[in-house]
Structure 1
Amino acid sequence: MAAPAQTTAFDADTTVVPAAPGVYDATISDRWAVPRGPNGGYIAALMLRAMEAEVGDPDRAPRSLTLHYLRPPVPGEPAQIHVAVERAGRTLTSLSARLLQDGRPMVVVLAAFASDFPTAADYASPAPDVGPPPAQLHTVPPAPGVPEIALRTALQPVFGAMADTGVSLAAGGDEALVGGWLRLAEPRAADAAALAFYCDAWLPAPFALLKAPAPAPTIDLTIHFRTRLPHPGMDADAPVLARFSSTTSRGGFFEEDGSIWAPDGTLLAQSRQLALLIPGA
């Protein structure tokens, strides 16, 4: 199934095609590459597309997505995503999925999709008070040494040392905190797939402490979707506000917690990941 002619790069590169019951064909695009392989958020969006197709019920929205990255998928190569419905109850569907290349497992996933439940209490911490989004976001032009993924986002740092220095590279600050306004460079609605990507689209929080970038491959990533997406009233060209922080790096591993809000302050998603922090060459 070909992607529509006017589709964005993100939509084209997260397209999945049914191949057999519970099996979807996909191609791992090299347009979302970081130095050590495809970006984990891009892979999360691709896996989510296959799981959404398998659920096949728009009333059951994605609520939780957990990915374990076993080895980097090979960009430019085809892949298969095998999805299994582990249980489908009256309101909640639990699924598992595996991304395979040449029969080798690359990524394993667990997810929950559900309708809305009645609640005993509604509450939420307020979004950071940073004012409205800027009129324009920063984009990176193609240049030697610039990773492909850097060309795919538009952003404006707000949090941490990167905001203070006005750059989005390693800043040598005193707090593992990064983030700001963020959207895809090609504007599109902030649906669940886009939010999955955004949860791993910013430079890792420890980069705010470093003098130079270091490899930081993700071991596992969990995303909790906190509202139905796209958020009503949010324009396709509107950015989200993303904040990522880390408290501990030890034994080569660090954790990172993320929160993403709509411009009106609605919490859209939360994330937590464990990743490696490898000394640079």
Structure 2
Amino acid sequence: MIHAFDAATALRPDGSGRLRGKTSPDYWAFVGPFGGTTAATLLNAVTQDPRAAGDPLALTVNYAAPIAEGGFEIDVRPVRANRSSQHWLVELSQGGGEPAAIATLVLAERRESWSHQVARPPQPGPAPIYDSPSSARWPGQYRFRFAAGAPDFSGGGTGETRSEVWIADAEPRVLDHAALAAMGDAFFGRIFHARRSIVPFGTVSMTTHFHVSAAELAAEGATEVLGVADARTFHKSYGDQAGELWSPSGRLLATTTQVFYFKA
């Protein structure tokens, strides 16, 4: 049986050079699909292309408009390539309208070289399973275990914005680059932590940098990541978030940043 994540990010060619997909009710947020599955779908549109060569290195997704429930079309275009990297442009639209999401993706051939991981993995303490109070459906597709900085929705004052959380698919699935792209957006919005309540919120732009090859990621065999996220500022309806995704073995798999809007 196909995993819910793979079903949500599945694409098929339509014979005209485009790819077609469909939103999944399992990964629905408040006013559209979970942004992580959109990012993973756009990444899949490139990595499944027969012209693609190399591993995902950098993915930037700009969420230009809400994506409505139902079908969508994706246009994929290689922009430039050299001996070690490829640059791609991906656009998601619906019903022939203007793009609702636009992505750029860099694929790179990873060659053997000197390596040094400067960042050090956190040393998390006890991490009980978190029961999300959100009415959105997508959190139910993940299992969250907060070691530090669990959301506090009691309201009042200003809360801490840093958190350490183990993130895994509710139905276990070995990590790949698509899963990392989605999990980079699976942190609860930093504005929820800061305001200690759920407020209107949406990602505007998100960039993920991948630090392992597909073969290295497969060799990890991990089904869970340790995510660390924090914010720097909230100002005039926009805020930021920076995150890290670590393997259980202490390897930095990906880093991510995003800017989002909020109403508070």
| TM-score of the superposed pair, with normalisation by structure 2 | 0.90
User: Which of 92, 95, 99 is the aligned partner of 2:88?
Assistant: 95
Deviations 1:44-70 (A, max 9, x none): 01111111112555x600000001111
State the one-letter code of the partner of 1:72.
P
Match of 2:18 in 1: 23
Shift of 1:24: 0.7
User: Which of 48, 54, 62 is the aligned partner of 2:49?
Assistant: 54
User: Which of 216, 222, 228 is the aligned partner of 2:213?
Assistant: 228
Match of 1:3 in 2: none
Shift of 1:118: 5.3
**Structure 1 residues 169 and 106: CA distance shift in structure 2, 3 A:** farther
Match of 1:256 in 2: 241
Does residue 190 of structure 2 align to residue 205 of structure 1?
Answer: yes
User: Which of 73, 92, 95 is the aligned partner of 1:80?
Assistant: 73
- Partner Cα separation in structure 1 for residue 37 and residue 31 of structure 2: 14
Is there any run of 5+ residues in structure 2 with no aligned partner, and where? none
Is there any run of 5+ residues in structure 1 with no aligned partner, and where? 1-5, 163-167
- Partner Cα separation in structure 1 for residue 196 and residue 124 of structure 2: 26
Match of 2:124 in 1: 130
Does residue 1 of structure 2 align to residue 12 of structure 1?
Answer: no
Q: Is the 8 A contact 2:176 2:218 kept in 1?
A: no
Q: Is the 8 A contact 2:129 2:146 kept in 1?
A: no
What secondary structure sits across from 1:125 in the alignment?
Answer: coil
What secondary structure sits across from 1:126 in the alignment?
Answer: coil
State the one-letter code of the partner of 2:25.
D
State the one-letter code of the partner of 1:80.
E
State the one-letter code of the partner of 1:148.
R
Q: Is the 8 A contact 1:182 1:241 kept in 2?
A: yes
**Structure 1 residues 90 and 243: CA distance shift in structure 2, 3 A:** same
- Partner Cα separation in structure 2 for residue 55 and residue 128 of structure 1: 39
State the one-letter code of the partner of 1:198.
M
Does residue 164 of structure 2 align to residue 170 of structure 1?
Answer: no
Deviations 1:138-184 (A, max 9, x none): 466xx9x7211121110101232x2xxxxx45366642113410011
Match of 2:106 in 1: 112
* More off after superposition, 46-55 vs 270-279: 46-55
What secondary structure sits across from 2:220 in the alignment?
Answer: coil
Shift of 1:189: 1.1
The count of residues paired between Structure 1 and Structure 2 equals 260
Deviations 1:235-255 (A, max 9, x none): 45x310001110100011001
For residues 131-170 of structure 1, the aligned pairs below 5 Å read 137-138=129-130, 146-160=135-149, 162=150, 168=151, 170=153
- Partner Cα separation in structure 1 for residue 172 and residue 7 of structure 2: 14
- Partner Cα separation in structure 2 for residue 215 and residue 91 of structure 1: 42
